[in-house]
Amino acid sequence: MIWLTWRQFRVQAAVVFGLLAALALGLAVTGPGLAGDYRDGLAGCGSGEACDRFRQHFFSGHQVQLVLLSAAVLLVPAVVGLFWGAPLVAREIEGGTHRLAWGQTVSRRRWLAVKLAMAGTAAAAAGGAATLAVSWWSEPLFKAGAGNASRLEPALFASHGVAPAGYALFSFVLGVAAGLLFRRTLIAMAATLAVFAALQFAIPLLVRPHLMTPVRADIPITRDTVGGLYSNGPGGPVHVEARTPAGAWVLSRGVVDARGRSVDAIPLKLDAGACAPDPSRMGPKDSCFQQMAQMGYRLRLGYHPGSRFWTFQWIEIGVFALLTAALTGFCFWRIRRLS
Amino acid sequence: MTAAVRTRGLGKRYGRRWALTDCTLDVPAGRVVGLVGPNGAGKTTLLNMVVGQLAPTSGTIEVLGGAPGGGAAQLAKVGYVAQETPTYAGLTVAEHLRLGAKLNPRWDDAVARRRIERLGLDPAKKAGRLSGGQRAQLALTLGIAKRPELLVLDEPVAALDPLARREFLQGLMEAAAEHDLSVLLSSHLVSDLERVCDHLIMLLEARVRVAGDIDDLLAEHLLLTGPRRDPADLPAGQHVVSASHTDRQSTLLVRTTEPVHDPAWSVDRVGLEDIVLAYMTGGDRRPALEVIS
């Protein structure tokens, strides 16, 4: 059975792992250069503010690559579910070859178990390999962009840590289950894609933020805690946004007044008075922040700190392990009833 | 004599439609048994239950003394050449043999290789590039080399041309004789089965219509031709299978174990095909077909 599974699976496996190898090769070639650029830049930037600027520049200069690579990592589970999982049983049923396979001296249960075990291991390995390669390559970017890029942000969270391996295994079993349910490869592929995509949107938006209680903090307004100031037109009230704590995944940000009520904006002006522009530097004068603080305004943040990354990863993989186990159970239940 | 397959009140329902109902059969062992019936009569359903790939909705089934599909020992005893003789298009002939060898403890590699060689199949050729006849032969080779006690074949020659059909059935006969196989073979064509079977089961509209040794069926069915009369007037031992009437003449196909003495009838023997056709068109559940001649 192992031989047959391998014989039927090898082409699909070769395609996916071939693409992954090409990706890894590209990263291996460019990775050391990227890390070197970062090291050299830090060594040559001198003062604190200049180094901050370098980090900012370095991060934003490679942000596109990071987004693309994260997308590539997320693509692995989708591909594995669509092209390994969905056809696994559905293609046999379409071709009638399941009758041939089950006519041999091998029970359906064993037939399915070997296929799930072998291709499932490959799926998890593919997801793991992709995320490992990309995490290694993008390490300097996270060092540089600690303030801007949180690995807890949905797109980065899904493509780093252990989650992608779990997604890949889940997506593969999802494909198999869809194939067993619909008995048609194309329908199974469509269903797999729909469910997997829906989960990738629903979980970060609706589920993950609530898996742990977010930190709620009221922060005094100072030059360091404010990330941005703006007003809609000259003379309008000032909107203030809190600076994101390093590595944090911010769920909500706002401003509260002295009595703790949420306010939309602070009744000051950016073109006159305390908040008039400071000719000697970027942004308003220090008096602006002092004035706001004196009026009793504070910044309110709800967020998950970056240190929770691994906790969230393990919770996530636990959830997906449960889903995968349930789908596997369904597969074995369903194959007995398949006619 | 032990039964290869024994069913009691066997039935299978898909949704609200019964594909097979109230099927009680004893398929003799060591014989070549034909299963005939029009498309949709329930042949594939019955065969899938025999090999254990389908669970019955009602009734019981016993194959070679065991429950179909119940464990490796049972699977090893029953070979199956499924409808349309499926093979893996991407695997070569040799890889199919390897598949058989890996998945069957009783695999007879010598038999498999000899058959492939005699058929002139190129072991390196992919099954997807074989002709329909060759593909069927490959599927049959897998079934035979598994060395089962019962080989079940579902319409194996339906898609084949007459020559490939003859070769396939010949190969099947040789293997059955050589390995002392019980064979259960379905077809919607009586002519295929008449050549190779010695026992016939006829399914019609999800029910078993007739079952018996072909010699007995041929001996017991008689065509009576004579002046027009009501079939209900026949003696008790004569069961009308089909009846057709013209203004003056009646033609009846009857099943009887006793000789017909009535001098009004002219009595003829009929071929198996005509008997089966009579059951399909006539019988007590359908109005007799009026033949104008």
Q: Where are the domains of chain B?
A: 3-205, 219-281
Of A1, A8, A100, the CB nearest to B102: A1
Q: Element (H or E) spanning B187, and its range?
A: strand B182-187
> Based on the domain organization, do A272 and A287 belong to the same domain?
yes
User: What is chain B's mean pLDDT, rounded?
Assistant: 89
Distance from the A139 Cα atom to the nearest Cα atom in chain B, whole angstroms: 43
Please tell me whether residues A155 and A285 are part of one structural domain.
no
ipTM, interface predicted TM-score of the complex: 0.86
Q: Are residues A200 and A231 in the same domain?
A: no
- Contact with chain A for residue B47, Cβ under 8 A: no
Number of residues that this document lists for chain A? 339
Q: Are residues A151 and A231 in the same domain?
A: no
pLDDT in tens, B234-260: 888 888 888 888 888 998 899 888 888
CB contact under 8 A, B82 and A96: yes
In tens, the pLDDT along B39-56 reads 888 999 999 999 999 999
pLDDT tens, residue by residue, B95-149: 999 999 999 999 999 999 999 999 999 999 999 999 999 999 999 999 999 999 9
For CA atoms A312, A317, A320, A322, the dihedral sign is negative
Residues A141 and A252 in one domain: no
- Please name the helix (run of DSSP H) or strand (run of DSSP E) that holds residue A212, with its range, or none: none
Q: What is the pLDDT of residues A254-275, one digit of tens each?
A: 899 888 888 888 888 777 777 7
Between B212 and A260, where is the model more confident?
A: B212
Which amino acid, B100? G
- Chain A residues whose CB is inside 8 A of the B69 CB are 107
Based on the fold, state whether residues A77 and A152 are members of the same structural domain: yes
Residues 75 to 94 of B: which have CB under 8 A from any A CB?
Answer: 75-76, 79-84, 86-91
% of chain A beyond a pLDDT of 70 = 99
My answer on whether A320 and A242 are in the same domain is: no
The residues pairing with B210 across neighbouring beta strands, listed in sequence order, are: B202
Q: Domain check: are A176 and A233 in the same one? A: no
Three-state secondary-structure class, residue A69: helix
CB pairs under 8 A between A and B: 72
Query: How far apart are alpha carbons B48 and B233 in whole angstroms?
Result: 43
Do A90 and A235 share a domain, yes or no?
no
**Pairing state between β B150-154 and B182-187:** parallel
Residues A196 and A301 in one domain: no
A4 close to B (CB below 8 A): yes
Domain around A146: 2-212+308-337
- Stated length of chain B: 293
**Does residue B268 sit in helix, strand or coil?**
strand
- What is the CATH code for B3-205? 3.40.50.300
For residues A318 and A313, give the distance between their C-alpha atoms in angstroms, rounded to a whole number: 8
3-state secondary structure of B205: coil
Give how many domains chain A has, as a whole number. Answer: 2
Which tokens is B3 given? Answer: 């039964």
Strands B182-187 and B32-36: parallel
B128 touches chain A (CB under 8 A): no
Q: In this structure, are A18 and A43 located in the same domain?
A: yes
Both A179 and A221 in a single domain?
Answer: no
| Contact across the interface for A103 and B84, Cβ inside 8 Å | no
Q: Which two tokens stand for residue A243?
A: 């600076």
- If you measure CA to CA, which chain A residue comes closest to B138? A100
- Measured CA to CA, the distance from residue B191 to residue A102 in angstroms comes to 30
Q: What is the pLDDT of residues A202-255, one digit of tens each?
A: 999 999 999 999 999 888 888 888 888 888 877 788 888 888 888 889 998 889
- Indicate if the pLDDT at residue B290 is higher than 60: no
